[in-house]
Amino acid sequence: MNIPKDPAILLSYVNTKLRDEYPNLEELCRSMCISREDIEKKLSLINYRYNKEKNCFV
C-alpha cells in the first residue's frame, strides 16, 4: 500500500484512518500491509507517538 511519505501528511492520514476505520494501530497496519515500525519511526521525526488509549498519534 502506498502511504504518504511526508511526515505531516502521514500524521493526518494515519490519524484519520484510526479515527474512522480501525480500532488500533495494529489493525491498521495489518489491514494495509504496512510496517508499524516504519510509521512510528517516520512520525517520531516530527515528535509524535502513538497513544493507545486515544488511538491516535499525539
For residue range 1-21, what is the model confidence (pLDDT) as tens digits? 789 999 999 999 999 999 999
Looking at the chain, which runs of residues are DSSP E strands?
A: 50-51, 56-57
Model pTM greater than 0.85? yes
**Residue 7: phi, psi to the nearest 5?**
-55, -40
CA 23 – CA 17 distance, rounded (Å): 9
**The pLDDT of residue 1:** 72
Give the count of alpha carbons within 13 A of 51, CB side only. Answer: 10
pLDDT bin (cut points 50, 70, 90) of residue 52 is very high
Name 49's Cβ contacts closer than 8 Å, sequence gap at least 6.
Answer: 40, 43, 57, 58
